[in-house]
Amino acid sequence: MADRAWDYSSAWDEAVRQIAAEISEQEFLMWFRNMSYSGAEQSRLFLNVPSSFYKDQVQQRYLHLIEEKLHELLGNPIQIDFRIEKPRASASEAEAADQAKAEAPRRRPVRKAASPQLNDKYAFDSFVVGENNSFAANAAYAIAKNPGTTYNPCLIYGGVGLGKTHLIQAIGNAAYGDFPDMKVVYVTAETFTNEFIISIKERTNHIFKRKYRSVDLLLIDDIHMFQGKAQTQEELFYTFEALYNANKQMVFTCDRPVSELRELTERLRSRFERGLNVDLQPPNYETRVAILRKKIEEQHVVIPEGVVELICRNITTNVRDLEAALTKLVAYANLVNRNMNLEIAQAQLRDVFANPRQKSVSIEIVQRVVAEYFGLSQTDLKGKKRTKAIAFPRQLAMYLAREMTEYSTTELGIEFGGRDHTTIMYGCQKIENRIKTDSTLEPIISGLKRSIREYGANA
């Protein structure tokens, strides 16, 4: 198999070196970094590529150039055969992991396994810094390099899909990598709450306390979820005090400024506000383009510049939606095995662009529009009265809020007069059932949605 007569690997390396000098760096990184020599036979050379899409693109763009180079270097014509070697998660990540595994024993004692709570795709390297987020990104970076000394605590706040989870986890990942002995814990407020409740039920509260009060770096995502949970707040308060007094770093994220949180004890609010509070704003057009290009590069796909511009012009408020648009296009292109162009993109993304979630709809606007439509006050809508004249509009408002905003049922419950999340689920279900049997409801809902969107756009 490893017949030395057919080893063209050094010719391949040389061809790649020459090609690198002739094409742009971006093109080179995009197309040659994930192509690798995998063997040869007489006048054939095998290359591994990660997907059939990739293969088509490389064939179209570079096959001629590659064959020409090899012909020159080897003195006879060489046929290239591509082999598709599906990357597991992502080729480079998997390779890096394999390599790290191979090198670990030599470099230093085997490191602890990757943190189970952190997703390593959330790294500083993959976070694009623009004017909308540079303050938060720099603070996060400083904290990761120097936990416990610079800004403690730090609270990052901003709307849905603007990078809160990415940044807080990037801090965890970086610190975890740089300080092997540091105990890093990342949790969402929801998980923290659930663990706390279970610890009470199972009488293991001392274990819970010990766990959270012994960490060196505590990262809690989405602290708005603590609203209305008095007992968990109390527990968190004592955790905070213990860690703060021991100079342990804490970082929190929240979907709004702390001052706008409701049903939060004053002492906890003041703790969150201590230290540094930084916000994430929606990215401007240039930053959106930079983020999308980065995602395109990470996924090793080809998307024409015009399509990038189309997406970034239409999706303006939320990075998660930018990514979702890209994912949709890539899936489509792979499925139909076609190159992406503007026309396809426009057709495929029509729904995404029309999605009302694009416009930031608040729960308050939903309530106001529904209350006005039914001649009620917003207080009625959030109140306890259960007459039919109020119960139906209330459920409709819950349904619309669920449809048109990004809030969870728990958060909606809080905004609907401190109700439980199951009440919201029940309300939505009632409306869904009624839509199926009552054909007059559909036009009412469409009309309300339109008003809510208009309100939202002008708010």
Instruction: Tell me which residues touch Mg ion (CB under 5 A).
Output: 164-165
- Cβ-closest residue to Mg ion? 165
C-alpha closest to that of 233 among 212, 263, 206: 263
Q: Which is nearer to Mg ion, 159 or 356 (CB)?
A: 159
Q: Is 138 helix (H, G, I), strand (E, B) or coil?
A: helix
Please provide residue 102's backbone torsions phi and psi, each rounded to the nearest 5 degrees: -65, -35
Q: Which is nearer to Mg ion, 34 or 165 (CB)?
A: 165
- Minimum CB separation of residue 443 from ligand ADP in Å reads 33
- Minimum CB separation of residue 295 from ligand ADP in Å reads 7
Are the C-beta atoms of 157 and 269 separated by less than 8 Å? Answer: no
Q: Which is nearer to ligand ADP, 238 or 285 (CB)?
A: 285
Please report, as ranges, the residues that interact with ligand ADP according to CB under 6 A: 126-128, 133, 158, 160-166, 291, 294, 319-320, 323
Are the C-beta atoms of 206 and 235 separated by less than 8 Å? Answer: no
Q: Which does 147 bind (CB under 5 to 8 A by kind): ligand ADP, Mg ion, none?
A: none
Q: Which is nearer to ligand ADP, 19 or 330 (CB)?
A: 330
For residues 377 and 371, give the distance between their C-alpha atoms in angstroms, rounded to a whole number.
Answer: 6
Pairing verdict, β 36-41 and 44-49: antiparallel
- Minimum CB separation of residue 320 from ligand ADP in Å reads 4
Q: Which is nearer to Mg ion, 165 or 249 (CB)?
A: 165
- Minimum CB separation of residue 137 from Mg ion in Å reads 15
Q: Which is nearer to ligand ADP, 67 or 323 (CB)?
A: 323
- Minimum CB separation of residue 331 from Mg ion in Å reads 23
**DSSP H helical segments within 383-458, as ranges?**
388-404, 409-415, 421-437, 441-458
**Structure tokens given for 294:** 């980065």
- Minimum CB separation of residue 141 from Mg ion in Å reads 19
Q: Which does 403 bind (CB under 5 to 8 A by kind): Mg ion, ligand ADP, none?
A: none
Are the C-beta atoms of 358 and 318 separated by less than 8 Å? Answer: yes
For residues 122 and 192, give the distance between their C-alpha atoms in angstroms, rounded to a whole number.
Answer: 21
Q: Which does 152 bind (CB under 5 to 8 A by kind): ligand ADP, Mg ion, none?
A: none
Q: Quick count: other Cβ atoms within 10 Å of Cβ 192?
A: 25
**Structure tokens given for 362:** 């608040």
What one-character DSSP code corresponds to residue 127? P
- Minimum CB separation of residue 424 from ligand ADP in Å reads 20
- Cβ-closest residue to ligand ADP? 163
Q: Which does 36 bind (CB under 5 to 8 A by kind): ligand ADP, Mg ion, none?
A: none
**DSSP H helical segments within 108-204, as ranges?**
134-145, 164-178, 189-201
Q: Which does 162 bind (CB under 5 to 8 A by kind): Mg ion, ligand ADP, none?
A: ligand ADP
